[in-house]
Structure 1
């Protein structure tokens, strides 16, 4: 086996795990998606982590950002900047909100408060 043949799988892996970005609601704000644990681990030290977000690197078959649990707190739309609905490939439906401080919060899309906040944020983005 040549060195180049052995290096090929590593190059493919590096390309698949490279920096990926996504635009939310076309506002031009880019977010990098890797295994997103930092804000949650900071909050876990304070025992106040509101929800768990699974976000994996993009590739040819990119797994979706998924909510593993929902926040038990009330969604305060005044603190939210943006949101997106998780993919149907996730084990449960979810809405991931971005707070104005940059944290991500998972919420239940069936909750009427969550639906109201989604509507308000969508209206604000349509006005811009």
Structure 2
């Protein structure tokens, strides 16, 4: 009887540890990657003092613009240098993070290239040298 009680106590303790670990799960997939963006675009993309807001913007639009900046590196433009440091899959995670306001799941993103189309007009402004 004592052995059963000890076993149940151990199982209960293990269940509590697993529950605690789940409560402290990994942050959303793009959050750590997007941390660099907070310097200019604010925490979670909620920009202040005249910088462009990223939170809630279209994932496809953010992704497309970052890929364009990555493809056309302009040394005098900070965003072009930032974008060049990320893989396409990382850029997708960053775009998804900002588009969902930080509520992304921890699913992985395929590294295959795919085209993303967006419709409508963009409310996002371009870099002064982007045409």
Asked whether the two chains share a fold, i.e. TM above 0.5, the reply is: no
Q: TM-score, normalised by structure 2?
A: 0.28
Point out the structure with the larger strand share: 1
Determine which structure has greater relative contact order: mean sequence separation of CA pairs < 8 Å that are 6+ residues apart, divided by chain length.
2
Report the structure number with the largest CA radius of gyration: 2
